[in-house]
Amino acid sequence: MDVAQSIGGQFPNIPPAPFSPSCTSSHFSASPKVRPYIKLDVNQTRKQMNEQQRSILLHSASCFPLPPGVKLSYGTAGFRADASLLESTVFRVGILAALRSVQTRSVVGLMITASHNQASDNGVKVADPSGGMLSQHWEPFADTLSNAGDPNTLLQLIDDFAKKEKIPLEGASEGEVLLGRDTRPSGEFLAEAAKQGITSIMGVNATDMGVMTTPQLHWMVRSRNKGMEASENNYYDQLSTSFRCLMEYIPKGNRNFNVNDKVIVDGADGVGGEKLEILKKLLSDLSIDVRNRGDGVLNEGVGADFVQKEKIIPRSFGPADVGFRCASLDGDADRLVYFSIELNSNKIVLVDGDKILSLFALFIKEQLNILTGEDGKVNESYQARLGVVQTAYANGASTYYLKQLGLEVVFTPTGVKYLHEKASEYDIGIYFEANGHGTILFSESFLCWLEGRNNELTSTSKCSEQQEAALRLLAVSKLINQAVGDSFSGLLLVEAILKHMGWSMFKWNELYHDLPSRQLKVKVVDRTAVITANAETVVVRPIGIQEAINAETAKYPHGRCFIRPSGTEDVIRVYAEAISQEAADSLANSVATLVDQFLGFNTTK
C-alpha cells in the first residue's frame, strides 16, 4: 500500500462508501469530502477501491489517537485497562475483528467487558467464528495494532498483515461483527469506538447486540456460523428446554428426595443478574433468588472473584441465608462458584470450579458407563475419549479425586483459550479453572454417534436405562455452552445433577477435602522476566529461582508451590499448597520473598 499517496487530506476520486465512518468522537473535526463520481475501468476500480479503503482507515484512525505513554497487551483474555485509556484500543480491535470476519467469511464477535475488574476499568476481546477465543496466532497483531503510534503506521501494519494473511481488502469483501458489552457505564462510548473500527473495513457490518453476558455473545457467534437461530431468546429457549429435559430424566427414586429447590445467586451487580431474571421465568422445578442485580457497585464486595479469593459473605447475603445453596457469578457472567454461609460468622464454605468440574465429571462418567459399559467401548469401531483439563491452580485434592475415578487429567497454562483448546481434543472434554471458568465440550463425531444410538434405542429398547442415559447426555450437550464457559448453563447443570443424585450441597462438597492453599501476589520490576514451562509449574527464567523454590517446597510435607506472571495485572502470582493452612501460608510467604529477591525491588531484604 502506498501510504504517501493518501496522506495530506487528499481523497480519491470515488464516491464515498455507504459505510464510510464519520468521527463521533470529540477528537474529530473534518468530515470526508465527497468528490464527483468518475466511471473507471475494472482494473482501475480495483486499485481505486484500495485507495478508498486506505483513505477511510486513515481518516477514522485520525479520530482515535493513542493516549500518550500507554502500551497495552492482548493478555490472557483481551485488553484491559482503565476505561478512559481504551477508546483507541477498542477502535483498533474493531478493525481487527472486521479483518478476521473478512478472512474467515464468517461472523465474528467483539465483547466489551473487564469481567471481575473494578467498575472504572473496561476491556475488549474478540470471539472467533467457532465462538471460542481469538485464534492465538492473531494475538501479536492485536498487540502491534493497538500500539501503532499514528494513522500511517496503523495503515502500514494492516496492509502488511492483510497481505500476509491473504485478507482481500479491495472493497468486494463482506463481513459481520456482533458487538456486545456488559453493564459498565463506559461500555456505550467504547461500543461507538468499536463500531467505527469495524466499519472502517469496507463491506463489514457492525451488529450492535447491546448489553449481554460474555457467554451469550460467544454462543450467538457460534450459532450464527452454524446456521442456527441465534437471538437472545433462542439462547434462553435452548437452556430452559434442555434443563427441562434433564429434569424429566431424574431417576424416579430421587424425584422426591429432599433437595431444596431454591438457589440464591449473587449477580455481582453486573450483567448476569438482569439476564438471569429473564431466564428464571422460563424455568419450573427450580426457584432462583437473584441478588446484586445491578443496583450496587459492580464487583465491589460481590461476585465470583471476590467470593473465591476472600472467602467471605458477599454483600446482600446474611444469616437468613444459612442452609441455602448460594452461587456467585462474575461481572460478565462467565464464571461460577457456589458457596454456603457459615452460622455466626462472616465466612463462607467455598465450592469452587474444581468441585463443579468433579461433579460434572462424575455425572458424565456415570452416564457413559450406563450407555457403553464400564470399559468405555462404545462399539467395535468407536471408543469415546473422556478427558478432564485443569490448571496448576487446581487443588491437588481435586486432581487426586479425578484420577481415582479413572479419568485422564491433563494440565494447561491459565486462561480459557488454553483449556478450551485442550478439551476440544476429546470426545467429551471437561475443563474448569478453580476460579469458576469452564464448560464441557462434545465432539461432533461423538454427538453424531449419540444421536444414532438414541434412535437405535428408541426402536429396540425405548425408555430403557440406556436410552435415558443417551437422552441425558444429549440434553447436557445442548444445555452446556459449547463456545465458552457460561455461568448460566453451569448453574443449571449443577442444579440438575444435584437433583439427579439426590444430593445436598453438603454431600457434594464432601466429594473430597481441599488441601489448604494460599495465593499471594508480588510486585516486581518486570514480570515478563519470568518464563514458565510445563503448564506454568516450572520457572525456566530467571535461572536459579526454580531450584530455590524447590528447596523451599521440600521443607513442607505434601507441599506444592509455583509462580507465574499474571496475564491481567502487573504482578507475579504465587500459589502454595500444604497439609495445614499455617504451612501453606508459610510456604507462600517464603516463595514470595524469593520472588522479591530475584525480581523485585528487594523490599524484603
Whether 310 contacts 343, CB under 8 Å = no
Closest CB to Mg ion among residues 330, 486? 330
Q: Which helix (H) or strand (E) holds 281?
A: none
What are the CB-based long-range contacts (under 8 Å, 24+) for 556-561? 556/583, 556/586, 556/587, 557/583, 558/396, 558/515, 559/583, 559/587, 560/396, 561/587, 561/588, 561/591
115 classed as catalytic: yes
In the list Mg ion, ligand 16G, none, the entry touching 332 (Cβ below 5 to 8 angstroms by class) is Mg ion
Whether 159 contacts 4, CB under 8 Å = no
The beta-strand segments (E) located in 196-256 are 204-211
Which is nearest to 223 in space by CA: 210, 239, 211?
A: 239
Question: Under the rule (CB under 6 A), what is the footprint of ligand 16G?
Answer: 76-77, 115, 414-417, 433, 435, 437, 566-569, 573
SS3 content of the chain, % helix, strand, coil (to 5): 40, 20, 40
Burial bucket for residue 104 (CB in 10 Å: 0-12, 13-18, 19+): middle
Applying CB under 5 A, the span of 12-20, 331-339, 560-568, 579-587 interacting with Mg ion comes to 331-339
Whether 337 contacts 351, CB under 8 Å = yes
At residue 234, what is the residue type? N
Which is nearest to 331 in space by CA: 182, 436, 210?
A: 182
Closest CB to ligand 16G among residues 202, 561? 561
In the list ligand 16G, Mg ion, none, the entry touching 273 (Cβ below 5 to 8 angstroms by class) is none
Q: Within 413-472, which residues bind Mg ion (CB under 5 A)?
A: none
Helix 232-248 with 271-280: angle, nearest 10 deg: 60
Question: How far, in Å, CA of 569 to CA of 523, rounded?
Answer: 10
Q: Which helix (H) or strand (E) holds 435?
A: none
In the list ligand 16G, Mg ion, none, the entry touching 330 (Cβ below 5 to 8 angstroms by class) is Mg ion
Q: How far is the CB of 435 from ligand 16G (least distance, A)?
A: 5
Q: How far is the CB of 108 from Mg ion (least distance, A)?
A: 19
CB atoms within 10 A of CB 320: 9
In the list Mg ion, ligand 16G, none, the entry touching 359 (Cβ below 5 to 8 angstroms by class) is none
Q: How far is the CB of 331 from Mg ion (least distance, A)?
A: 6
Q: Within 81-120, which residues bind Mg ion (CB under 5 A)?
A: 115
Whether 537 contacts 412, CB under 8 Å = no
Closest CB to ligand 16G among residues 145, 483? 483
Q: Work out whether 330 is an interface residue with Mg ion (CB under 5 A).
A: yes
Closest CB to ligand 16G among residues 280, 527? 527
In the list Mg ion, ligand 16G, none, the entry touching 416 (Cβ below 5 to 8 angstroms by class) is ligand 16G
Q: How far is the CB of 232 from ligand 16G (least distance, A)?
A: 21
Q: How far is the CB of 302 from Mg ion (least distance, A)?
A: 14
Closest CB to ligand 16G among residues 525, 543? 525
Q: Work out whether 334 is an interface residue with Mg ion (CB under 5 A).
A: yes
In the list Mg ion, ligand 16G, none, the entry touching 567 (Cβ below 5 to 8 angstroms by class) is ligand 16G
Measure CA 483 to chain center. Answer: 9
Q: How far is the CB of 434 from ligand 16G (least distance, A)?
A: 9
Closest CB to ligand 16G among residues 92, 417? 417
Question: How far, in Å, CA of 521 to CA of 595, rounded?
Answer: 10
Burial bucket for residue 354 (CB in 10 Å: 0-12, 13-18, 19+): buried
Residues 6+ apart with CB under 8 A from 400: 512
Q: How far is the CB of 218 from Mg ion (least distance, A)?
A: 12
Closest CB to ligand 16G among residues 151, 415? 415
Closest CB to Mg ion among residues 330, 354? 330
Closest CB to ligand 16G among residues 115, 200? 115
In the list ligand 16G, Mg ion, none, the entry touching 433 (Cβ below 5 to 8 angstroms by class) is ligand 16G
Q: Work out whether 266 is an interface residue with Mg ion (CB under 5 A).
A: no
Phi-psi region of 541 (alpha: psi -120 to 50; beta: other; left: phi over 0): beta
Catalytic residue among 55, 115, 223, 340: 115
In the list ligand 16G, Mg ion, none, the entry touching 77 (Cβ below 5 to 8 angstroms by class) is ligand 16G
Q: How far is the CB of 566 from ligand 16G (least distance, A)?
A: 3
Q: How far is the CB of 394 from ligand 16G (least distance, A)?
A: 12
**Nine cell digits for residue 561:** 508451590
Measure CA 390 to chain center. Answer: 15
The CA–CA distances, whole Å, from 291 to 239, 272, 326, 328, 348 equal: 21, 10, 10, 9, 16
In the list Mg ion, ligand 16G, none, the entry touching 490 (Cβ below 5 to 8 angstroms by class) is none
Whether 351 contacts 321, CB under 8 Å = no
Binding site for Mg ion (CB under 5 A): 115, 330, 332, 334
Residues designated catalytic: 115
